């Protein structure tokens, strides 16, 4: 039987268009109703609302291990649209600029991706949860401010092109990376390196540490999973 007060790891497959906090609140609400009391719970690494995939939730005393889980290597798959940008570097905002793409080919893309492997610096998106003077960057943006975010050192273990479509100028990549990597910023920087622009049209986290997407619970199936966990 699961002991959620002592600490459990719950891996959820976060749905599209739901915030990480929203998914956590749904799980916490179900736990509270089933157990009859509020359960301490936190998540180990935010996923954007438009991203899906592995979201690690820790309960009870395991919430002290959040930092440990945040340090784990992560794997993502992403689709980039070349030739245009948005303010958030994904589909949360409309296209704000377009760029030429006629010069881009698959060999050029593969050569460009090699430049992003290893230790690099990256400026986080302005629409992000990064804090500036105690305020979240995305909240400042929504107020009309333009926060200046500093570049941070990150590590990309590997970045691989899995599909390139010359007609649509879309490309799929698989990225294995360390803590603090923003795949949206990576898309922006790839576009610039290609002398064009780019933004994400899809993003999925497929692994955190040794927890892969196939080990995750679908959010709508969590109540049934919990009933089984409490019964056994």
* Residues with active-site annotation: 48
Contacts of range 105-108, beta carbons closer than 8 Å, 24 or more positions apart: 105/166, 106/161, 106/164, 106/166, 108/194
Q: Which two tokens stand for residue 52?
A: 């899906």
Look-up: residue for tokens 């998914």? 23
If DSSP states are collapsed to H, E and C, what string results for 125-168? CCCCCCEECCEEHHHHHHCCCCCCCCCEEEEEEEEEEEEEECCC
Q: What is the C-alpha to C-alpha distance for residues 24 and 31, in angstroms, rounded to an integer?
A: 10
Among residues 43, 64, 40, the alpha carbon closest in space to that of 55 is found at: 43
Bridge partners for 75 per DSSP = 176, 207
Q: What is the C-alpha to C-alpha distance for residues 47 and 198, in angstroms, rounded to an integer?
A: 20
Interacting residues of 25 by C-beta distance below 8 A, sequence separation 6+: none
Judge whether 201 and 80 are in contact, CB under 8 Å. Answer: yes
């Amino acid at each position: 039987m699961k002991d959620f007060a002592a600490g459990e790891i719950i891996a959820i497959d976060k749905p599209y268009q739901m915030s990480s906090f929203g998914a956590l609140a749904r799980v916490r609400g179900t736990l509270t109703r089933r157990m009859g009391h509020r359960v301490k719970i936190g998540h180990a690494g935010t996923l954007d609302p438009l991203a899906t995939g592995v979201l690690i939730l820790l309960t009870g005393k395991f919430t002290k291990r959040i930092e440990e889980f945040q340090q784990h290597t992560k794997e993502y798959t992403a689709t980039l649209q070349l030739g245009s940008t948005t303010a958030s570097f994904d589909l949360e905002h409309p296209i704000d600029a377009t760029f030429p793409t006629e010069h881009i080919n698959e060999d050029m893309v593969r050569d460009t991706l090699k430049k992003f492997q290893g230790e690099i610096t990256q400026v986080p998106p302005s629409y992000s949860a990064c804090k500036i003077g105690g305020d979240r960057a995305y909240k400042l943006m929504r107020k009309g401010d333009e926060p200046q975010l500093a570049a941070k050192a990150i590590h990309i273990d590997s970045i691989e092109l899995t599909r390139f479509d010359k007609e649509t100028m879309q490309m799929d990549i698989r990225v294995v990376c360390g803590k603090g990597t923003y795949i949206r910023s990576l898309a922006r920087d790839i576009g610039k390196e290609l002398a064009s622009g780019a933004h994400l049209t899809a993003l999925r986290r497929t692994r955190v540490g040794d927890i892969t997407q196939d080990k995750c619970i679908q959010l709508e199936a969590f109540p049934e999973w919990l009933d089984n966990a409490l019964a056994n």
